[in-house]
Structure 1
């Protein structure tokens, strides 16, 4: 079972031999480890640019997007081709979900470390350079198998398709990336549908409040709830949209509309505008209404019942699908994408347009 942790905001420490560094996509100014002082962002950006100019780098094209891969000095067990495949597969997963890569150019900085496997990562959009910027740690002894099974780079690339959120709405950006990353990887054959639903079945409960005093997602404190509370919001929204539109649309159409109309990491959109545009694309107030339910008050969701309605049954470490479950067509549409599921129809008792209950 993979554990998702809040990515370090100080990844650039070893990368740039700085005492302090921060990127806005992972900016948590009140919880920096070690009592570090945060550089003013323009200064940090300037040091990143100087490093990129001096680093060894090469270019990779994936679809219409360009990736400039920069590697800091240090030996890695994996080859340049292995890293290229890792970047290419992550980009393909984003394209599989969003239809196209959200920004024209992205710089991917590889930081060799003494850690095991794939480590911390950060993502942002650099306004001055007009490109996405992702930094990722790869252990010197990491294997190609570890790269091929790592979700980290895909998660960071998914962030580029949605506006960068401040602390209050951080759960929304992280929840979207957490929810759509495995779906994108499944669609390019890197995960099975069983893998995706097992991940959700194992972890969604971490998004629930532990007590009534926890408050809604806008007040979330714990890292696990930040990620999985946002992912739970996304699953409920996806199911609700598909029920209301008879499986003609899902969350991906709503999120694609946000990215297609300029709401990427390059924008200065806030959560309210993002959700308004998303709902406008599907012609119903699903995301906004669900935000009203989950953002300010703790609420609760019967996750086992929701998964059962979708036909997801878990027995120990095994996932089995009930294709006769009321919302099984919705589950299949989430897996395959709306275009691949237009021939599917919902059962008569699931077309009332009501959302899964949040109490």
Structure 2
């Protein structure tokens, strides 16, 4: 049997500590890796167009994770649908739900990387990956959250100024308010029939108002003090699931923030027939 000496014990401990440190560093490096884009229809693009799309998509993923935290999933399916002639750089996009969520992109194949990066659409769709799929009557929650967060992401990435951030949200709220005058049924009922009613402005911007109001309430908390973005970062780590009712999602955000802000607002908003009152000054003073 070998004799264990003090020197050998110290050497063993040193090696153990070194291995533990290496493992910790490896985990940090692993956690720091952004989600990777896995493309569909990539071969339909020329080499130059592939480079443009890569630049655009990777920039959007980095900007989104910088603002909202690392996604729980390690890769994102990006289904490409390049168009030859479009007036808009990204005329349409949607989320793909599955074992690994992704994004379907319809875009102008001849648009420059700079033009695509300045477009809000991809940031909106990537923001959807931070919440689970809700029932259709609660799509005002998901669309409102993504509409609010697309502006948070773009501001944090330096793509829009604080003044532009305020202008975009304020202008959107005015559009939502205007449409509510003619489509003033309960919000959940309007959401269920959003496409037939053409009520996107009412639905999206009432939902955005919900999260602006939640942000205002969070800003007023003394301790603990969170923002919506910080709550979503924590939510990815502790509670993210593929399928969850909006009400349960609100409860999780309340647990993390140690408040009842989200559940109370949800009960207030889901059946409302009017449009929320939020001032331009309140938006300009948001801490997010």
TM range, smaller chain: 0.7 to 0.9
Larger radius of gyration: 2
Who is 2:187 aligned against? Answer: 217
* CA distance in 2: counterparts of 1:247 and 1:180, whole angstroms: 21
- 2:165 pairs, out of 178, 187, 196, with 196
Residue 289 of structure 1, CA deviation: 0.6
Q: RCO greater where, 1 or 2, for CA within 8 Å and sep 6 or more?
A: 2
Residues 253 and 281 in structure 1, CA contact (< 8 A), matched pair in contact too: no
| Cα distance change of structure 1 residues 207 and 246 upon mapping to structure 2, 3 Å threshold | farther
Q: Does 1:260 align with 2:237?
A: yes
- 1:231 pairs, out of 185, 208, 213, with 208
- 2:225 pairs, out of 217, 234, 248, with 248
Q: Deviations over 1:141-199 (max 9, x none)?
A: 32333212111111111111101122100010011111011211211222222221110
* CA distance in 2: counterparts of 1:177 and 1:91, whole angstroms: 14
Q: Does 1:143 align with 2:112?
A: yes
Counting matched residue pairs gives 248
Q: Does 1:71 align with 2:48?
A: no
Residues 206 and 229 in structure 1, CA contact (< 8 A), matched pair in contact too: no
- Mean CA deviation greater in 228-237 or 217-226: 217-226
| Cα distance change of structure 1 residues 105 and 213 upon mapping to structure 2, 3 Å threshold | closer
Residue 119 of structure 1, CA deviation: 2.3
| Cα distance change of structure 1 residues 118 and 274 upon mapping to structure 2, 3 Å threshold | same
- 1:270 pairs, out of 233, 245, 257, with 245
Residues 91 and 101 in structure 1, CA contact (< 8 A), matched pair in contact too: no
Higher helix share: 2
Who is 1:161 aligned against? Answer: 130
Residue 256 of structure 1, CA deviation: 2.8
* CA distance in 1: counterparts of 2:270 and 2:130, whole angstroms: 22
Q: Please report the TM-score for the alignment, with normalisation by the length of structure 1.
A: 0.63
Q: Does 1:307 align with 2:280?
A: yes
* CA distance in 1: counterparts of 2:45 and 2:182, whole angstroms: 50
Higher strand share: 1
Residues 78 and 143 in structure 1, CA contact (< 8 A), matched pair in contact too: no
| Cα distance change of structure 1 residues 207 and 146 upon mapping to structure 2, 3 Å threshold | same
Matches within 5 A, 1:320-359: 328=285, 331=286, 333-334=287-288
| Cα distance change of structure 1 residues 279 and 212 upon mapping to structure 2, 3 Å threshold | farther
RMSD (Å) for aligned C-alpha atoms: 2.4
* CA distance in 2: counterparts of 1:75 and 1:112, whole angstroms: 8
The unaligned stretches of length 5 or more in structure 2 are: 1-31
Who is 1:26 aligned against? Answer: none
The unaligned stretches of length 5 or more in structure 1 are: 1-61, 313-327, 335-359
1:275 counterpart SS class = helix
Moved over 6 A (4+): none
